[in-house]
Amino acid sequence: MATTAKQPGDRELEQYPRKRQPLIDFGPLGRWFEDRALAIHYPLREFLMHPVDKFSNIFDLMGELTAFLFINQLITGIILAVFYRPTISGAFVSLQDITYVTPAGVWIRGLHVYGASAMVIAIFLHMCRVFWYGAYKKPRELTWMLGVVLLIATLGLSFTGYLLPWNQEAYWATMVGTFMPFYTLFPVPFIGRWVVILLRAGNDLTGATLTRFYTLHMLILPGLLITALTLHLALVVRQGVFFLTEEHTQ
């Protein structure tokens, strides 16, 4: 009887410590893809299927809630970007159109605006839980440091997003906010003035500031957040979630 000859790549597949049942069985096409994307599939499966400890309370899930809210921000943000015009003459008008004319626009905008506030609350609760449990201690220091990047990116997204409607409230709030590095009780030493100019793309708030904030909001900060979050979650999967019962109650 003829045996099927081994193909290049089969040996790697045999050596891979995989669990054969996929999350969702997409049939032969799904298995073809799975065999070629094991590096993604295996950690993803571990992450999605990791058991939650029976003693866990709601605060253990604040990281997951933050991730969920971030996905909401991504989806609604992409939809808003299709309709938003990042110019001083177009920004306010395009958002009025989104709210009053575009079908479901008011819902998408609402989800994005309230989702941003909810994400800030969730990230703080997540951070408090990690701090309260001491879950940042060895070997999870790097997870915490990446968390600091995530916090800065999240707050940066809220700050830059606030200017985008380009209405009176947005304009003057950003005028005050961008001046803070120079003129507060605790200014940034020596370079405060330059930080203000860097943030505003000049001395005043102009169309150049709007372009700068839009780029930060659309491109730079989400890119930073997605990169840091991938590493953050990779460490969580690798090290396992810290549970109070696991290390503190003996």
Residues lying near ligand HEM in the complex (CB under 6 A) are found at 60-64, 66-67, 70, 123, 126-127, 130, 135-136, 140, 143-144, 147-148, 150-151, 154, 229, 232, 236, 241-242
Cβ of residue 115: shortest distance to ligand HEM, in angstroms?
12
Task: Tell me whether residue 98 or residue 228 sits nearer to ligand HEM (CB atom).
Answer: 228
Cα separation of 207 and 171, whole Å?
Answer: 11
| Minimum CB–partner distance for residue 143 and ligand HEM (Å) | 4
- Whichever of 12 and 64 has its CB closer to ligand HEM, that residue is 64
CB closer to ligand HEM, 116 vs 130: 130
The upper half-sphere exposure of residue 38, i.e. CA atoms within 13 Å in the direction of its Cβ, equals 14
Q: Over the Cα atoms of the chain, what is R_g? A: 23
H or E segment and range at residue 195:
helix 192-200
Q: Which is nearer to ligand HEM, 34 or 60 (CB)?
A: 60
CB of 229 to ligand HEM, least distance (A): 6
How many residues are recorded in the chain?
250
Which residue lies nearer to ligand HEM by CB, 61 or 180?
A: 61
Shortest reach from residue 221's CB to ligand HEM, in Å = 11
**DSSP states along 13-82:** HHHS---SS-SS--HHHHHHHHHH-HHHHHHHHHHHHPPPPTT--GGGGHHHHHHHHHHHHHHHHHHHHH
